[in-house]
């Protein structure tokens, strides 16, 4: 049965798009049929992070308004044949989206994919509420930083009130994904610890993504970090998180970079 | 005082516990207020209505502030009153 997952946060710049691309690619690599949907109308970026920016013809709004068929707007990933992208519009504004229209598109996507992953825009306005509206599950991307944790708390409140599931008296299954985590700083007491964040937000943990240069490297070349460097620390953390989403029980750990032997000996960076 | 001494002893005071405590206080308040109309806005409007019955005031010169602490919160209402009324207000208070 298809699952609709929203990747959300309230705060901008915490890693929603990176996480959508990385989790989508990891789930597809594990054999699922996955569609990632960009809800950031007017500021789309999922196409760029996925490396599909030059292949966008039609978008979510065209499909919602019936100008294009869903099949025409879907872009198949060049690396993984069971990974697809439904881009957002860059020229229209978010008011062009209606709840009924989005509901129809999501219902259609449910019949074609195992996972429909909605990349929410930042904020709590229409784009963000529509991205979460039809979700079965939610990944709340949180940085170990006060403003991000506060916004995550607000978004959790919205997931419990303003979704179709909530209105039916059911619950959207929520997961916290901590990104940009620096174990050393947390150990020195300079950064909120994992336990602090989980206690404050009272929501189960999906994964801990360590702060890493690999994330920028991957977006530079237009590849989800889980495809660009599978063995890197963030990729391994996202792959574990994706397995947990599929129901596997994976021990929670924070991966560290495995340095090549020469680099370890000389303590220099080769790249 | 004791806090300062503690800071001197510990060379690198950790900031994470401060972040944690600030968040816990803030979110306890925000969760309580969720879904309710904006308390300060309604306070401001009602206070404005009461005071306007007795004197002419400029609605833009009414400030309502709330400072939330762990144990006690303070509500501060600051209304600028035109000079003609200052005498009677002082007498009343």
Per-residue pLDDT of A15-31, as tens digits, reads 999 999 999 999 999 99
Identify all chain A residues contacting B30, using CB atoms and an 8 Å cutoff: 150, 153-154
The CB-side HSE value for A101 (13 A sphere, CA atoms) comes to 18
pTM: 0.81
> What average pLDDT does the structure give for chain B?
75
> How far is the CA of A228 from the CAs of A16, A33, A60, A234, B24, in angstroms?
18, 20, 26, 11, 39
Inter-chain contact B16–A150, Cβ cutoff 8 Å? Answer: no
Q: Which two tokens stand for residue A33?
A: 């049929």
Report the residue of B14, B17, B18, B28 to disrupt the A interface, i.e. the one with the largest count of A CBs within 10 Å: B14
Model pLDDT for residues B48-73, shown as the tens digit of each residue: 888 888 888 888 888 878 777 778 87
- Chain A with chain B: Cβ pairs closer than 8 A: 39
Angle at CA A129, nearest 5°, toward A46 and A240?
A: 50
What is the predicted pLDDT for the residue at B93? 45
What is the predicted pLDDT for the residue at A239? 97
- Residue A90: CB atoms within 10 Å: 17
What is the predicted pLDDT for the residue at A91? 79
**Of the candidates A17, A86, A25, A21, the residue with the CA atom closest to the CA atom of residue A57:** A86
What is the predicted pLDDT for the residue at B8? 54
Inter-chain contact B16–A146, Cβ cutoff 8 Å? Answer: no
What is the predicted pLDDT for the residue at A251? 93
Query: What stretches in chain A show pLDDT beneath 70?
Result: 259-271
How far is Cα A206 from Cα A175, in angstroms, rounded to an integer? 5
Compare CB distances from B19 to A153, A157, A192 and report the shortest one's residue: A192
Model pLDDT for residues A102-116, shown as the tens digit of each residue: 999 999 999 999 999
Q: What is the ipTM of this complex?
A: 0.79
What is the predicted pLDDT for the residue at A177? 98
Q: CB-based contacts of A17: which residues, under 8 Å, 6+ apart? A: A38, A40, A45, A46, A49, A119
How far is Cα A140 from Cα A203, in angstroms, rounded to an integer? 9
Q: CB-based contacts of A196: which residues, under 8 Å, 6+ apart? A: B16, B19, B20
Inter-chain contact A190–B35, Cβ cutoff 8 Å? Answer: no
What is the predicted pLDDT for the residue at A84? 98
Inter-chain contact B27–A146, Cβ cutoff 8 Å? Answer: no
Over chain B (93 residues), the average pLDDT of each successive run of 10 is 54 83 89 72 83 85 78 83 60 47
Cβ(A178)–Cβ(A208) below 8 Å: yes
């Amino acid at each position: 049965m298809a699952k609709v997952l929203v990747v959300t946060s309230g705060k901008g710049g915490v890693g929603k798009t990176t996480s959508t691309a990385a989790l989508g690619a990891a789930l597809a690599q594990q054999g699922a049929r996955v569609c990632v949907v960009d809800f950031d109308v007017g500021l789309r970026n999922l196409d760029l992070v996925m490396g599909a920016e030059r292949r966008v013809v039609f978008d979510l709004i065209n499909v919602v308004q019936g100008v294009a068929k869903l099949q025409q707007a879907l872009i198949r990933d060049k690396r993984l044949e069971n990974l697809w992208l439904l881009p957002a519009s860059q020229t229209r504004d978010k008011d062009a989206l209606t709840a009924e229209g989005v509901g129809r598109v999501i219902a259609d996507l449910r019949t074609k994919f195992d996972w429909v992953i909605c990349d929410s825009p930042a904020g709590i306005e229409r784009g963000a509420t529509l991205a979460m509206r039809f979700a079965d599950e939610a990944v709340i991307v949180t940085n170990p930083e006060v403003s991000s944790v506060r916004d995550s708390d607000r978004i959790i409140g919205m997931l419990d009130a303003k979704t179709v599931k909530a209105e039916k008296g059911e619950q959207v299954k929520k997961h916290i994904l901590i990104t940009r985590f620096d174990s050393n700083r947390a150990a020195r007491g300079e950064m909120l610890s994992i336990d602090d964040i989980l206690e404050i937000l009272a929501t189960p943990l999906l994964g801990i993504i360590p702060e890493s240069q690999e994330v920028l490297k991957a977006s530079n070349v237009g590849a989800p970090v889980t495809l660009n460097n599978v063995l890197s620390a963030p990729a391994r953390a996202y792959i574990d998180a994706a397995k947990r989403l599929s129901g596997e029980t994976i021990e929670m750990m924070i991966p560290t970079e495995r340095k090549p032997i020469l680099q370890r000996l000389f303590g220099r960076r080769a790249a | 005082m004791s806090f300062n001494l503690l800071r001197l002893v510990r060379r690198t005071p950790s900031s994470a516990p401060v972040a944690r405590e600030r968040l816990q206080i803030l979110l306890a308040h925000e969760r309580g207020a969720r879904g309710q109309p904006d308390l300060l806005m309604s306070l401001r409007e009602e206070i404005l209505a009461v005071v306007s019955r007795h004197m002419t005031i400029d609605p833009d010169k009414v400030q309502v502030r709330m400072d939330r602490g762990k144990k006690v919160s303070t509500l501060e209402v600051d209304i600028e009153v035109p000079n003609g009324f200052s005498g009677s207000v002082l007498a009343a208070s």
